[in-house]
């Protein structure tokens, strides 16, 4: 009874996170167009806009923040896996649980802080320090929502890893293996077999430090 509920929750969260992440990607060409126009207006026709800088800054923040949870879902964030890639699967899951707890704790603090800034900006009408001076309240609200979405994504990973440790099975039936360092695409081994084909054969060569010719 519990497993279908957990699976359903994870599927809904992953769908929403994916939908938001793919949606904000459409802001990238808008951002690129605004930046290109601002450069043209400033350096070609000598008529810079008063809104280009703030708008591009806001769009970049929206893209980066709202796309963060989707990047986490796609495992696109930079990872230092020197230890993570060498330990057994259960140990990796424990590492992932600890990471999720720490990340959700940090994001909870961010939500509290940014929501407080949102309320304060509404009360005191905070604006950017520019000639255009747009209001800042929407930006703080967006950061709050982004952190909430990020926590939801981390919660699915926490549930999935905890379920695996408790039952030895994947919750959603889909395996996301952590590749060891030896299996990385740029791993080079001199013990590999020579490459053979119908037209040619490439022999394996090893650099010999003791031979001045390197053969």
Instruction: State the DSSP code for 14.
Output: H
Residue 149 parent element (H or E):
helix 137-167
- Among 14-18, 95-99, 193-197, the range scoring the smallest mean pLDDT is 193-197
Mean pLDDT, rounded, for 121-128: 92
Per-residue pLDDT of 51-97, as tens digits, reads: 999 999 999 999 999 999 999 998 888 777 787 778 888 888 999 99
Torsion angle (degrees, nearest 10) of CA 205, 208, 209, 210: -160
Residue 11: which residues within 8 A CB-CB, separation 6 or more? 172
Structure tokens belonging to residue 166 = 């408790």
Domain ranges of the chain: 1-77+88-172
Buried/exposed code over 62-94 (b: 16+ C-beta within 10 A; e: otherwise): bbebbbbbbebbeeeeeeebeebbeeeeeebbe
Mean pLDDT, rounded, for 90-119: 94
Q: Per-residue confidence at 172, pLDDT binned at 50, 70, 90?
A: low
Question: What pLDDT shows up at residue 174?
Answer: 56
CA distances from 38 to 19, 32, 34, 48, 139 (A): 30, 10, 6, 6, 22
Mean pLDDT, rounded, for 94-119: 95
Structure tokens belonging to residue 66 = 């709202």
pTM for the whole thing? 0.75
Question: What pLDDT shows up at residue 171?
Answer: 82
Question: What pLDDT shows up at residue 78?
Answer: 77
């Amino acid at each position: 009874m519990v497993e279908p509920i957990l699976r359903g929750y994870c599927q809904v969260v992953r769908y929403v996170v994916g939908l938001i992440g793919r949606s904000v990607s459409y802001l990238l060409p808008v951002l690129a167009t605004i930046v290109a126009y601002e450069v043209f207006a400033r350096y070609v026709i000598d008529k810079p806009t008063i809104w280009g800088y703030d708008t591009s800054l806001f769009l970049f923040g929206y893209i980066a923040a709202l796309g963060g949870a989707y990047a986490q879902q796609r495992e696109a964030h930079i990872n230092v896996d020197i230890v993570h890639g060498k330990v057994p699967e259960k140990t990796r899951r424990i590492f992932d649980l600890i990471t999720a707890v720490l990340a959700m704790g940090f994001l909870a603090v961010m939500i509290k802080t940014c929501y407080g800034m949102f309320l304060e900006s509404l009360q005191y009408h905070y604006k950017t320090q520019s000639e255009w001076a747009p209001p800042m309240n929407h930006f703080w609200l967006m950061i709050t929502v982004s952190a909430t979405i990020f926590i939801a994504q981390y919660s699915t990973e926490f549930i999935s890893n905890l379920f695996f440790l408790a039952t030895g099975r994947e919750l959603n039936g889909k395996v996301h293996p952590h590749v060891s360092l030896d299996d990385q695409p740029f791993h080079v081994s001199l013990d590999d077999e020579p490459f053979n084909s119908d037209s040619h054969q490439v022999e394996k060569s090893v650099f010999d430090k003791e031979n001045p010719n390197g053969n």
